[in-house]
Amino acid sequence: MGATISGMGMVVSSGDAAAKSDKKSRPSNGVGAGLVHADFFAANGISPPSTLFEEMSDTFYFAKNKAGKFVWGNRLLQEKHRLARAEDIIGKCDHDFFLRDIADRIRADDLAVMESGVPVRNKLEVIGGRNGVLTWLFTTKAPLRNAHGEIIGVEGFSRDAQRSQDIIEPFHVFRSAIEYLQAHFMDKISIEHLARLSSMSLSTFERKFKQHFALTPKQYILNMRVHEACRLLPSCQSIERVALDTGFGGQSYFTAQFRSVVGITPKQYQRSVAAAARGAADGAG
């Protein structure tokens, strides 16, 4: 039988031989983190959570079994609870991390979701830690189901309001510039003007803009114009007209710039969209 590598770097084996091997090696206290994790997902015929959850910088992801024991937690949750390893959360419950009244409330919410089968979306929670620090969370949780559709636990996200604000904050200084670009991207735009709107020198603006958007201001403008061209091309036969309407001027320049972003020429793009539309129509017929 095969084996799947989970996001935690643990092996989730499938098949009878793997299950027998897990049972033989399981510690007598039942705490073995990797084994609990493997047993839960493999035994229920479902895949472990995506490794993308490990990349979240403002959102805690969790999965618990019916008893309220964690069977998964992402890296940010590990850091929140000051655990040495991500898998150290496996087998623990909220009462291991929060004051009793808070943990009881979380458990009651989990039970309500599992009993009703109805998700809870963006519920505001104010969680007080043992150190007295309050954390503001927007929590969404839903029933976790096995391969047969039976509820076997609960999973969800808790977005840390402060972390989200910290991530968004650096972009606020570009708000005026971005709003100007959205209104005037088809016009000739001065980068110096954008810098003034952001109260920065030209060099500082260009450096910080690329740092936050992974594009230079000119590349950002180009992408906005090409995006608009993609919207116009399917309903406009004249590529020259689209070139003028999106601020590129001449058709040859437009074609070269469009291809540099999209990878095909405007004419090829029109043909591909038309072919897709015909295929959809044939399928519907």
218-239 pLDDT, tens per residue? 998 998 899 899 989 999 889 9
Looking at the fold, whether 87 and 216 belong to one and the same domain comes out as: no
Q: Is 250 helix (H, G, I), strand (E, B) or coil?
A: coil
Looking at the fold, whether 7 and 134 belong to one and the same domain comes out as: yes
Q: How far apart are CA 54 and CA 92, in angstroms?
A: 19
Looking at the fold, whether 52 and 151 belong to one and the same domain comes out as: yes
Cβ contact 171:212 at 8 Å: yes
Cβ contact 211:172 at 8 Å: no
Looking at the fold, whether 31 and 132 belong to one and the same domain comes out as: yes
Structural domains of the chain, count? 2
Percent pLDDT > 90 in the chain is: 42
Kindly state the tokens that stand for 262.
């999209």
Q: Are strands 151-160 and 3-5 parallel, antiparallel or unpaired?
A: unpaired
Looking at the fold, whether 68 and 191 belong to one and the same domain comes out as: no
Q: CATH code at 255?
A: 1.10.10.60
Task: Determine the average pLDDT of the residues in 182-205.
Answer: 93
Residue 276 is assigned to a structural domain of this protein: no
Residue 18 is assigned to a structural domain of this protein: yes
- Say which range, 14-18, 172-176, 209-213, 218-222, has the weakest mean pLDDT: 14-18
Looking at the fold, whether 64 and 114 belong to one and the same domain comes out as: yes
Cβ contact 70:95 at 8 Å: no
Q: How far apart are CA 214 and CA 48, in angstroms?
A: 31
Task: Determine the average pLDDT of the residues in 118-139.
Answer: 76
Provide the domain limits for residue 190. Answer: 185-270
Looking at the fold, whether 114 and 221 belong to one and the same domain comes out as: no
Q: Assign residue 14 a region: left if phi > 0, alpha if psi is -120 to 50, beta otherwise?
A: beta
237 compared with 115, residue with greater pLDDT: 115
Looking at the fold, whether 157 and 189 belong to one and the same domain comes out as: no
Residue 116 is assigned to a structural domain of this protein: yes
Instruction: Render pLDDT for 133-144 as a digit per residue (tens, 0 to 9).
Output: 667 788 999 999
End-to-end Cα, the chain, rounded Å: 43
- Does pLDDT of 180 surpass 70? yes
Q: CATH code at 7?
A: 3.30.450.20
pTM over 0.75: no
Residue 141 is assigned to a structural domain of this protein: yes
